[in-house]
Chain A
Amino acid sequence: MKHISSIAGGVALGSAGIIMMSVLSGCEAPKEEPKNRYLVIEQQANGKYIVVEEMPTEGPSRAIIREKDENGNPIERFMNEAEMKALAEQEYQKVQSGNSETLKDDGGSAGMGLAGTILAVAAGSLLGNMIGNALMNNKNFAKNSATSNRSAYSRSAASSAAKSGSGKKSFFGGKSTSSSRSGGFFGG
């Protein structure tokens, strides 16, 4: 075979291959929503963090962290799964020694630190379901988890607030997104 390639063992089909092979072998296709998450975490005026967007992803968990630099200008940074996991583990250590803000009664209402926020919303996907479920059995943790994640209900509110732009140099040079909007053009 000179040039043309074929699919060997379905591995080349990535996540599609996993579904294909499980269906073809007569197993149920994994119907569960992917538990990995793509998060947008925004720093609040008080320095604490809140999850403003959350989407399930087939790929590894990832996050965009929106913060302010020393001059108060918005900056964004990207966090991969390993970095998220490291922070979650660090916070989980604190949980075990009883010092984590995720266990405090009033933690989530005002936001938490970045590590606490990540653990609160993604413990299961980052550290495994056993740890995630155990944490959720703690009433305060469950409450903090819910209140530090505004993605579900605060979208309309979040959209009216000024959005932070990217400070990165890239093809998409723009500084910030604007809030003036027009409706869908496709007549939807």
Chain B
Amino acid sequence: MMITLQKANPLEDKTLEELGFTWHTDSDGSKYVSDELVQISQDEAEAYYEATNAIYDMYVEAAEYVIKNELFFELGIPFNLVDIIKKSWDNDVHWHIYGRFDLAGGIDDKPIKLIEFNADTPTGLFETALLQWAILKHNEMDEEKQFNNVYEAISNNFKRLITLFDDTDNFNERYDGWKILFSSMDGNDEEEATTRLLQQIATDAGFNTSFEYLGNVQFNENGILDAHDNSYEYWFKLYPWEDIAHDEPELATTISNIISNQKAIILNPAYTLLFQSKGMLKILSDLFPDSPYLLKTSFEPLEGIKQVEKTVFGREGANTKIIDSKGSVLEEVEGPYGNYKKVYQEYVEFPKDLQGAKYQAGIFFAYEACGMSFRKGGEIMNNMSKFVGHVIV
């Protein structure tokens, strides 16, 4: 399963910085953005699109199943978010803006397999929506040769906060000035740029928007306010729901009341934490045993096959182990998520390049699959993995 690469002139650091992309160099001094592009065929791009839409539909069915059968504990969902999750699930106004699926395969006729779903706070948005397009442009390549409609798709999905399933052309007629506040942690450039990009997309869609660092946002039973006491109908937070539950339990209660009293809508909605839980991989594997996109997954170690142990919540590959068929650990990444429940997912090989580096496809989803890019790394993708754009040949 070999990846085909194409050299491209990289954008200079100075240019990247002018574009607002400051995290171009990793902590070991290496470039985060590859100077190569993955070549994929039109059919491969279409197959990623189909697979992603099918997987999202399965997630929706599985979430319905989890809620109906009260399986929150099994998924490791903090008890103080259960109520918010149910409420957000019950009303379509809690619209899922965007997520990113991580997939293996899809190249050289190898089947596409779901690795996990970053549904709550996905990053890689700036790189996928803007940067890989800029690389094509910079190299005077055909900009249409890329599966990348991320910006427009997310813009339309913001409009659906107002129009829901109806035609987004009705947005202007129905929109009544409701405001969205965007927030991320102060001091994290990547998260802030991601959040500000989403704000820009929402502004382009026609919303009144503002930005406030998380630490300055005010919450009370009546709503969500910025530092200047302006209240907002929507709040987008690039901050994990499970961290709110564990680190800010008082806030979780306040937010629950805000949602119950219909004072504000929080994005991405609380139910995206169900999607985010890797426990869902087990539920999916039970509900859809014949799906070609799913890997066998269990809450117990799998018998006699090579597998990956992950925690239900955990980011950037932390607390991940690769275990061979006899139960020996082949590779392990430590991390802060060790207290979470574990899942065991059948191992699958990622496509590789000539140097043996592995490639994981990331497909963005906003109402439908809308664009893709790759991460290049070792056996376990972590925060040292590199961003690689793609070109359709």
Contact = CB atoms under 8 A, between A and B. Distances in A.
A8 B45 CA distance: 17
B228 A53 contact: yes
Given A23-B15, A78-B176, A14 B370 contact: no
A98 interface: no
B219 A185 contact: yes
A130 interface: no
With a 10 A CB-CB cut-off, give which of B177, B214, B369 has the most chain A CB atoms. B177
Contact of A184 (B18, B217, B231, B369): B217
Given A4-B45, A4-B49, A7-B133, A19 B19 contact: yes
A139 interface: no
A57 to B, nearest CB: 6
Interface in B38-97: 42, 45-46, 49-50, 93
Contact of A7 (B138, B149, B200, B392): B149
Contacts, number: 170
A18 to B, nearest CB: 10
Contacts of B251: 185-186
A59 B229 CA distance: 22
A128 interface: no
B222 interface: yes
Interface in A1-29: 1-10, 12-17, 19-21, 23-24, 29
A170 interface: yes
B62 to A, nearest CB: 24
Contacts of B210: 55
A188 B49 CA distance: 41
A158 interface: yes
Given A4-B46, A24-B138, A57-B203, A78 B218 contact: no
B246 interface: no
Nearest to B263: A174
B220 A184 contact: no
B208 A9 contact: no
**Majority DSSP secondary structure for residues of B touching A:** mixed
B137 A10 contact: yes
Contact of B133 (A13, A40, A64): A13
A72 interface: no
A29 B199 CA distance: 19
B157 interface: no
Interface stretch (B27-35, B140-148, B347-355): B140-148
A168 B176 contact: yes
Given A4-B149, A64-B177, A186-B248, A15 B204 contact: yes
Q: Counting chain A CB atoms within 10 Å of each CB, which of B42, B46, B49, B151 scores highest? A: B151
A57 B207 CA distance: 10
A184 B220 CA distance: 10
Contacts of A64: 177, 208
Contact of A6 (B49, B143, B214): B143
Contacts of B262: 171-174
A58 interface: yes
B153 to A, nearest CB: 8
B200 A184 contact: no
Contact of A9 (B143, B218, B248): B143
B264 interface: yes
A21 B18 CA distance: 11
B201 interface: yes
A158 B225 CA distance: 14
Interface string B215-248: 1111111110100111101000001000000001
Contact of B155 (A14, A19, A58, A171): A14
Given A172-B262, A182-B220, A7 B204 contact: no
A21 B204 CA distance: 17
Contacts of B230: 40, 53
Interface string B357-393: 0000000000001100000000000000000000010
B222 A171 contact: no
A184 B46 contact: no
A66 B321 CA distance: 58
5 contacts: A10-B143, A16-B197, A182-B220, A186-B215, A186-B239
Given A9-B143, A24-B134, 8 more contacts: A1-B42, A4-B149, A6-B143, A6-B147, A7-B152, A20-B130, A29-B19, A59-B206
- A-B interface, 9 closest residue pairs, ranked by CB to CB distance from nearest: A188-B215, A78-B177, A5-B149, A14-B204, A159-B229, A185-B251, A186-B214, A12-B152, A4-B147
